[in-house]
Structure 1
Amino acid sequence: MDNPNDVKELIPEFFYFPEFLENQNGFDLGRLQISKERVEDVVLPRWAKSPEDFIYKHRKALESEYVSAHLHEWIDLIFGYKQRGPAAVEALNVFYYCTYEGAVDLDSITDEKERKALEGMISNFGQTPCQLLKEPHPVRLSQEEVEKRRSQLDSCPLNVFEHLTNLKSFFVEGISDNVPLVKAVVPKNQSHSFITQGSPDTMVTVSQNCLVGTHGWLPYNKNISNYFTFIKDPTVANAKTQRFLSGPIAPGVEVSTGLFVVSHDGKLLFSGGHWDNSLRVTSLVKGRTVGQHIRHMDIITCLSMDHCGIHLISGSRDTTCMVWQVIQQGGAPVGLSPKPVQVLYGHTDEVVSVSISTELDMAVSGSRDGTVIIHTVRRGQYMRCLRPPCDSSLPLSILHLAVSWEGHLLVHTCLEGKATLKDKNALHLYSVNGKHLCSEPVKEQVTDMCVSGEYVITGSEKPPIVRCVSVTKEQSHILVGLQDGKLIIVGVGKPAEVKNSLRNYIAQSSSRRMTQISSGETVYNTQHHLHQHH
């Protein structure tokens, strides 16, 4: 601490890149002087089970409440009032004079040797950032204070993943009675004008018979006892006003959630599975087809859009995937590029699941051939092929894929044929660079899967059969579409109820049926139909 020349800092890789801790290329790094032991991978502290665990815990520490509470002290040292002067001396935060902004005017030095010597010093010692603040930086609010302020607001929903023991389920009927609900989603980038500020978002639903609904959705309202407002689309219940996707679905195609993607502004619906092998674009505002792209040689089986709404990926029975650019006008998506920007090859059987991340430059596809193939988005370059572990000789299909915000790849595999149910399904986790991290068997047939933050939500065929799952943009509710056409809305119970444990809640809700809450939403008897994996 007393040596101003001994300055160390952790490079960003310490918080996101476990591979830098391993000598994966087998370089000869020499031997230790005393033990003569060969230098290989970085020796990890005892609290870390693996490089991945080390990085995960390091990042958790960086994002911890303790660091948040002391963040202002670091800002004071690097950018603030403790960077210079008596406060810097007292904090042992004084560096070589050449490193400070404005300490040396290189342009005024005429002696070439002196100038080069100073440039060398600056290069050697580094540069202190610009001083931005002359006063102490305020302390960040604690998590407790944030929660307290949130509870006083009328418009701030509670995060379901922060209150997993206090969830409550409601159901909505009448969207598609006795017709499976295969898509239910609240698009995440819906814009409201100044005049319509505070008005409901759009929730889009698609039924197995291709009936489309655009409902109103507000995730939080203190004046309603169930803490959300759902306004049912009046057109879905009237045979004269119902809106269906145009063009028949191909015979033999199961209409499932993977065939549909809604644009992030909630204005367009992209669909596959059509008889003419087309990828169709439907305007949810106009209620008609505005685009029809026929590039695949066989039926499109799956679609996915990236987090930022730049690219869409389609997978087909023809064993290929295509990456399409989303065309925007005035910041809003209006359609797709006339032809795909990438055509991706490599599978030997039909592609049944796709996922894409433009930010991480990853286009991921899973097939009935049991492989997961990763390409780059920008160049369409093949990166790697993953074969999830399997003890059986039965054929393995990759039915669902998801890429997390941090680049983890989650794969759902299913054994085809006569496998017993307990061996049939499994979830496999891979790093962004394709390293297999873990696998876990799943006891029930997985019907849909989505990742939100550090959590994965899966729906199963255990009655009542789940056909789709999604998480709202504020992580305030989980939306579940059922085989019988009901929409389940899972959210956090009211603060008064939050004190009850999940066990008490299940016992209470299964012993009595609650009365009507608001506009047709009723408490739903949850019996662990929704599974959450951390």
Structure 2
Amino acid sequence: MGDESLPPEELLSVEDQHETSEAGSKSSDDMMSQDSVDGIELVEEAKADEDGWAKMFIWSDTETVVARFDKVMMVTLQAITEGKILLTTHGLYFRQTGNVINVMTKETDQKEKQGDYHDQRWRLSRLTEVHGRRFMLRAQAIELFFSDSHELFLNFSDGARDRDRFYAKIRNSCQVPMLWSPKSLNPRVVFKKSKLSNLWKKGIISNFEYLMQINKMAGRTFNDITQYPVFPWVLADYTSESIDLSDSRVYRDLTKPVGALNESRLAGLIERYNDLVAFGFSEKEKFLYGSHYSSPGVVLHYLIRQEPFTTMAIELQSGRFDCPDRLFFDIAGCWRSCNTSTSDVKELVPELFTCPEVFVNTNGFPLGQTQDERSIENVALPPWAKGSAHEFVRIHRLALESDYVSEHLNHWIDLVFGYKQRGAEAEAAHNVFHYLSYEGAVDLDKITDEVDRNATESHIQNFGQTPSQLLTKEAHPSKYPGHARWSPLIHNEEVTEHLRYHTPSNQVGGKKKGTVKGAAVSIHVLSDFVIVVYANMSVGTYKFSTSRSGSKSPFSFKLDKHKGFCRKELSSSRNAIKRGSAAPSEMESNKSHLSVGSHSFGITIGGEARESIRRKAQQSRLTSAKDSLSTAELHASIVSCGYWDDTVKVHSVDGLKLTCSDTGGHRGPVRCLALGDDGALMVTGGNDATCRVWVVDHPDMAVALSDGYVKTALGEALDREKQLICCHILWGHVAPITCVSLSSDLDVVVSGSLDGAVCVHTVRRGTYVRTIRPLNRTNAINAARKITLHGTGDFCVAMEDHTLHSYTVNDVHLASTDAGEALNDMLITSFGSVLVTGGELGWIVCRSVRDLLVLSVLDLSRQGPIRCLSTTPDDLNPTPQYLFVGSDDGTVTIVDEDPQSAERSETVDFNGRN
């Protein structure tokens, strides 16, 4: 919709209009009378006064008004707030002007009626995505996603015209440097342009991530309980003592909707379906299933043990819990009901694959007793989960990522989001729901009878809404077969038994060369480009490529360049602490933390470059690994810490030129750092007991996270030319930081300190979450030595006393063990089930994250202690994944899976070790 259709006052900012009015009043050729000019000025003054509430926030010097929208609803999970929006070049401001309506009870908040209004602002510099949404099946809503993990769902009461104009204004008149959504708000267009299915087919993104993205594009949202994301039942065995995920018999048939899984039940439903016309139903109104696979009741059924869903479930039942026999208390019983009851065809929600807490009544809610006097507390889990909610979620997630589900998931997508959702194909697939669940089935504005309208609205709100249809004619493509798609090196515990290693001869390190260049302390791998940092502050770059079948070696690893980038004395441990800022005397024994190691270095291609590659991949414009290689060579940088001047430094890999040096406000040495998977976020830990969140080479993100365009008492506006920009200070520790790890996707950083405490913070907002103190066998100070966090929310921490612990970020203790050595580096593999460690013994040890039991050991001790570990990242590599190991003698060893031993292996279930 073009600007020419907008009212004149919205074509210019207030300031522009005022200047135009003044110019007009001074012109001798002005056609308007002085009274007309005065009238315009009065209108503008009134507009300015009307916007005064928004001026209570700090505005940028160049911020101007773009548009106003007076009839808007802000939709959240629990409430709908009526208000108005002021859109400026830099921000989106919301003021409540009407009622706050409870989603479940439809009651208005009496406090809000009394005029206690709340004004809110969202900075558009943080806006990353915008998606069209439906509200009450009408395509007149929009959802905005921000880089700091905020989301905003807005419904425009005056219809789609206002919604579309709002989005056009954002794209054309506002400063939104991080926005990369398509111009269209049509879900089908967005899905087609995204090309995400190509990444999924190749295995670059997981089944879970793909389903989350499809849900997002099809209008499913965590802000509207009536349109909550929907996930499939994937398993059919909830009674066995153990489960073999390689056995197709344990899986649900994904080619059929839940209601069609039981043939005898389906026969009865079909008979009723054929008889509906005789009972007065039109062909349009006929349905197989009166209930839906996703509705507010379904969501609250699964999530009743966790707030705010507990409160919402009580509100749905008029102030009490539902009948205990109808609550979610047994996963096997729930699956049985979905297979037998004619009124129960529900699918799942994402939390059943990610959040063990939904199965545990940690809040002690009085859920009652069933008719057979069974007390309801935690959800009864399958025997193969061994009574552990964490174990159930782990296996459930592995099942979702299994070969069977990967090969059949496209059929389920056809049913829920694709061409079998509606019409003749839906009828043939027995996938027909009540007509009021489908978009376009009814126009509420044309229902004049208030009783009929209320009944229709109630049905839409409470009995389920079918997602927007993404594919209307063609079937969703299937995933490539296992041998043709990318797969993590260690995708399950069984693979650990088939690992082998290779030590290339053409490299810098190795004792046989006669001179040791220093330990390999940090490795970073791109598509066919490997960067190795050595302890003597030199850097080796290697060309890496897989070999053709029949070659003696499975890959080629050749030295390209080797050069020093810093004098050793600038980073040696004995000079790392400045005089007067040494560690407390009782901690002197732990000075080893300041030695050069994997915690001292990070390598990144830069936030903007990394994001560019990701966007090209999603748009199918990344044609080969050479594209990412050229980007890497151009942008790759080494970030390092531990210097005498308390700075973090950046050197270019190409030329090893110093490009940036900054303290970020740390007082004393910067002891450790960690980079996020996105290449843009970095966290440092200092001797001052603080962590700092930085943005690396991504000025737009730096502005977004730090409000850097605003001049404040703290100083001038942000310098966009700086390669390193500190955005947040993380408080919570009382001792020097010794190790950090972060997950960009999870938006979480975990940090360990010299006194053994582990703190959890959010990254983008810099918010403190909690402190966890791993078990200590003695009263002596036991520093955290190394920590690694996975996107599933599990993390492992190695202590100075050689103990190893696994936790969740929600402070659930999973396991503890004695590692038997000092661990120098560790990582959790792609699917989150296996921990790989390397330490002073020179062994690569694979352990299960859930219990820390040893799965396999590779002996690399002839190269000395292991100093660092790295894998090829999944989002940049079409080739198989490899594990790179840096040893004390400077040798780089490459680990992969032995295909021959894998073919000979026997099936191992996910509960045994045999």
TM-score range for the pair, normalised by the shorter chain length: 0.7 to 0.9
- The amino acid across from 2:672 in the alignment is C
- Which of 17, 38, 41 aligns to 2:378? It is 41
Determine the structure 1 residue equivalent to 2:215: none
Deviation at 1:345, TM superposition (A): 2.5
Residues 384-412 of structure 1 show CA distances to partners (whole Å, capped at 9, x for unaligned) of 11111122233211101111122211111
8 A Cα contact 1:476 1:492, kept in partner? no
Deviation at 1:307, TM superposition (A): 1.1
- Which of 634, 642, 655 aligns to 1:286? It is 655
Determine the structure 1 residue equivalent to 2:840: 461
Moved more, 295-304 or 454-463: 454-463
8 A Cα contact 1:213 1:233, kept in partner? yes
- The amino acid across from 2:654 in the alignment is V
- The structure with the largest alpha-carbon Rg is 2
Question: Residues 500 and 335 from structure 1, CA distance in 2 versus in 1: closer, same or farther, beyond 3 angstroms?
Answer: farther
Deviation at 1:288, TM superposition (A): 1.6
Determine the structure 1 residue equivalent to 2:533: 206
Deviation at 1:159, TM superposition (A): 3.4
Identity %: 35
8 A Cα contact 1:181 1:487, kept in partner? no
Determine the structure 2 residue equivalent to 1:159: 489
Determine the structure 2 residue equivalent to 1:440: 817
8 A Cα contact 1:360 1:407, kept in partner? yes
Question: Is it true that 1:114 corresponds to 2:514 in the alignment?
Answer: no
- The amino acid across from 1:466 in the alignment is I
Q: 2: distance between equivalents of 1:394 and 1:488? A: 36
Q: 1: distance between equivalents of 2:358 and 2:488? A: 37
Determine the structure 2 residue equivalent to 1:384: 770
8 A Cα contact 1:469 1:480, kept in partner? yes
Deviation at 1:87, TM superposition (A): 5.1
8 A Cα contact 2:507 2:558, kept in partner? no
- The amino acid across from 2:649 in the alignment is R
Deviation at 1:456, TM superposition (A): 2.2
Q: 1: distance between equivalents of 2:565 and 2:355? A: 48
- The amino acid across from 1:440 in the alignment is T
Q: 1: distance between equivalents of 2:693 and 2:700? A: 22
Deviation at 1:13, TM superposition (A): 1.4
8 A Cα contact 1:213 1:243, kept in partner? no
8 A Cα contact 1:356 1:364, kept in partner? yes
Structure showing the higher strand proportion among its residues: 1
Determine the structure 2 residue equivalent to 1:315: 685
- The amino acid across from 1:489 in the alignment is I
- 1:312-391 equivalences in 2 (<5 Å): 312-328=682-698, 336-338=723-725, 340-391=726-777
Determine the structure 2 residue equivalent to 1:248: 570
- Which of 881, 886, 897 aligns to 1:476? It is 881
Question: Residues 497 and 117 from structure 1, CA distance in 2 versus in 1: closer, same or farther, beyond 3 angstroms?
Answer: closer
- The amino acid across from 2:804 in the alignment is L
Moved more, 352-361 or 173-182: 173-182
8 A Cα contact 1:160 1:167, kept in partner? no
Q: 1: distance between equivalents of 2:432 and 2:903? A: 51
Deviation at 1:436, TM superposition (A): 0.7
SS of 2:698's equivalent in the other structure is strand
- 1:178-217 equivalences in 2 (<5 Å): 178-188=516-526, 201-217=528-544
- The amino acid across from 1:215 in the alignment is Y
Moved more, 461-470 or 471-480: 471-480
Question: Residues 164 and 335 from structure 1, CA distance in 2 versus in 1: closer, same or farther, beyond 3 angstroms?
Answer: farther
- The amino acid across from 1:168 in the alignment is Y
Deviation at 1:86, TM superposition (A): 5.4
Q: Number of paired residues? A: 466
Question: Is it true that 1:169 corresponds to 2:502 in the alignment?
Answer: yes
Residues 280-320 of structure 1 show CA distances to partners (whole Å, capped at 9, x for unaligned) of 11112232211111222111111101111221111122222
8 A Cα contact 1:187 1:263, kept in partner? no
The answer for unaligned runs of 5 or more in structure 1 is 151-155, 191-200, 237-241, 416-424, 502-532
Question: Residues 174 and 118 from structure 1, CA distance in 2 versus in 1: closer, same or farther, beyond 3 angstroms?
Answer: closer
Question: Residues 128 and 174 from structure 1, CA distance in 2 versus in 1: closer, same or farther, beyond 3 angstroms?
Answer: closer
Determine the structure 1 residue equivalent to 2:601: 260
- The amino acid across from 1:461 in the alignment is E
Moved more, 109-118 or 251-260: 109-118
SS of 2:460's equivalent in the other structure is helix
SS of 1:14's equivalent in the other structure is helix
Determine the structure 1 residue equivalent to 2:394: 56
SS of 1:396's equivalent in the other structure is coil
- 1:508-519 equivalences in 2 (<5 Å): none
Deviation at 1:263, TM superposition (A): 0.8
Deviation at 1:356, TM superposition (A): 1.5
Q: 1: distance between equivalents of 2:400 and 2:770? A: 31
Deviation at 1:428, TM superposition (A): 1.1
Residues 323-382 of structure 1 show CA distances to partners (whole Å, capped at 9, x for unaligned) of 1122327999985444x2111233232211111223222121111201111122233222
Question: Residues 461 and 173 from structure 1, CA distance in 2 versus in 1: closer, same or farther, beyond 3 angstroms?
Answer: farther
Determine the structure 1 residue equivalent to 2:482: 146
- Which of 273, 289, 302 aligns to 1:4? It is 289
Question: Residues 174 and 378 from structure 1, CA distance in 2 versus in 1: closer, same or farther, beyond 3 angstroms?
Answer: closer
Q: 1: distance between equivalents of 2:413 and 2:700? A: 38
Q: 2: distance between equivalents of 1:86 and 1:15? A: 33
Structure showing the higher helix proportion among its residues: 2
Deviation at 1:183, TM superposition (A): 2.9
Root-mean-square deviation over aligned CA pairs = 3.2
Question: Is it true that 1:17 corresponds to 2:355 in the alignment?
Answer: yes
Question: Residues 134 and 447 from structure 1, CA distance in 2 versus in 1: closer, same or farther, beyond 3 angstroms?
Answer: closer
- Structure 1 segments, 4+ long, off by >6 Å, are 329-334, 496-501
Question: Residues 54 and 27 from structure 1, CA distance in 2 versus in 1: closer, same or farther, beyond 3 angstroms?
Answer: same
- Which of 273, 289, 301 aligns to 2:642? It is 273
SS of 1:428's equivalent in the other structure is strand
- Which of 651, 657, 670 aligns to 1:300? It is 670
Q: 2: distance between equivalents of 1:456 and 1:335? A: 36
Deviation at 1:158, TM superposition (A): 8.6
Determine the structure 1 residue equivalent to 2:894: 489
Deviation at 1:17, TM superposition (A): 0.9
SS of 2:517's equivalent in the other structure is coil
Q: 2: distance between equivalents of 1:243 and 1:202? A: 19
